Amino acid sequence: MKEAFAMSTTAALLTGTPLAGRVAVVSGASSGIGAATALRLAELGASVAVLARRKDRLEELTAAITAAGGTAITIAVDVTGRDAVQDAAAQVADRLGTADLVVNNAGVQLISPITDLRQDDWQRQIDLNITGVMNVIGAFLPHLTTAAEAGRPADLITTSSIAATRILEKFSVYSGTKAYISHLTRLLRVELGPKNIRVATIEPGMVDTELPSHVTDPDAGALMEGLLTEIDPLQPADVAETVAFIAASPRHVNLTEITILPTAQAV
Ligand SMILES: NC(=O)c1ccc[n+]([C@@H]2O[C@H](COP(=O)([O-])OP(=O)(O)OC[C@H]3O[C@@H](n4cnc5c(N)ncnc54)[C@H](OP(=O)(O)O)[C@@H]3O)[C@@H](O)[C@H]2O)c1
């Protein structure tokens, strides 16, 4: 896995600073897709608050952004705690202002056969991929509403997965959480689109990140690691560029559901 805390523009489609003046929040920003997204949004001009539990990783990331001339703050938070995320939203308001670009990205994938009854793994996925996502929405929706009412672009972008729609053995609970996110996006759009808040979800295929390393079932973990070496997977920067493109679109344009796959990934 190539970890990218240096400015990486290998997948760059956008140029200049189209996100200047935007205040972004990225959850799950201590590694993988979230870290690359925070870097790219900062590079394109946004001020960025980075959220995750590993404070040292976040501080490394904010230092890299600051060294490159950007603005970033670290907020170490476990997004499964509702009060803690509310506190994070207050900190963003104090230190950066009203957030208008929320990347609701933290997630965990703990695949295993359902008959193994790994209920702790089921719970962790539900707690983070569903409750954590809702905690971020609950804390930052008032920011987005304020931004939209002021005539600013306002984006709620959540990381789902192709697992939301594919039928994949051993993925049942993870896929269920991602199906929740994808359908939630469609439902939120109905309510928030008329308030000029754009709602989007990205459904990536295989991205080269830490994600498989958390799998507790050894066979499933090996399966994921093996798949990553068989094809040329997406890099976190590829997904980051997609997030940036959604956010940089004109305010009246809402790209809502985007699937992004490695070219060689068959399913
Ligand atoms: N990699 C793929 O192939 C792929 C494909 C489709 C979708 N996705 C989705 O993409 C998103 C990002 O995953 P990734 O691939 O970039 O994996 P990753 O490198 O493991 O990133 C997961 C991030 O979530 C954070 N996180 C975990 N538990 C948390 C908690 N309780 N509170 C706050 N943050 C927490 C982690 O940071 P800390 O440990 O520091 O808290 C980390 O920053 C996930 O939603 C995943 O489901 C990934």
How far is the centre of ligand 1, averaged over its atoms, from the C-alpha of 157 (Å)?
14
| Beta carbons of 79 and 136 less than 8 angstroms apart | yes
Amino acid type, 151: G
CA distance 263 to 259: 12
The preferred substitution site among 108, 201, 258, 265 for testing ligand 1, maximizing ligand atoms within 8 Å of CB, is 108
Q: What pLDDT does residue 30 have?
A: 98
CA distance 98 to 92: 7
| Beta carbons of 72 and 11 less than 8 angstroms apart | no
Which atom, in ligand 1's list, is nearest to the CA of 160?
7
Residue 82 CB less than 6 A away from ligand 1:
no
Q: Helix, strand or coil for residue 101? A: strand
Residue 92, pLDDT > 80, answer yes
Structure tokens at 5: 């805390």
Nearest CA to ligand 1 atom 36: 28
Q: What pLDDT does residue 208 have?
A: 96
Residue 187, pLDDT > 70, answer yes
Structure tokens at 149: 């009412």
Q: Which of 28, 163, 174, 177 is catalytic?
A: 174
Q: What pLDDT does residue 218 have?
A: 83
In order, the DSSP letters of 11-39 are T----S-TTTT-EEEEESTTSHHHHHHHH
Q: Tens digit of pLDDT for each residue in 60-90?
A: 999 999 999 999 999 999 999 999 999 999 9
Q: What pLDDT does residue 267 have?
A: 81
Q: Tens digit of pLDDT for each residue in 162-186?
A: 999 999 999 999 999 999 999 999 9
Q: Tens digit of pLDDT for each residue in 190-241?
A: 999 999 999 999 999 999 999 988 888 888 788 778 878 899 999 999 999 9
Structure tokens at 264: 């060689």
Q: Catalytic residue at 174? A: yes
Burial degree of 33 (CB within 10 A; 0-12, 13-18, 19+): buried
How is the chain split into domains, by residue range? 2-260
Which atom, in ligand 1's list, is nearest to the CA of 29?
43
Residue 108 CB less than 6 A away from ligand 1:
yes
Count other C-beta atoms under 10 Å from residue 60's C-beta. Answer: 16
CA distance to 120, 126, 142, per residue, from 35 (Å): 27, 22, 24
Q: Tens digit of pLDDT for each residue in 23-60?
A: 999 999 999 999 999 999 999 999 999 999 999 999 99
- 114-134: string of b/e by CB count within 10 Å (b at 16+)? eeeebeebbebbbbbbbbbbb
Q: Tens digit of pLDDT for each residue in 105-138?
A: 999 999 999 999 999 999 999 999 999 999 999 9
Q: What pLDDT does residue 9 have?
A: 46
Fold for domain 2-260? Rossmann fold (3.40.50)
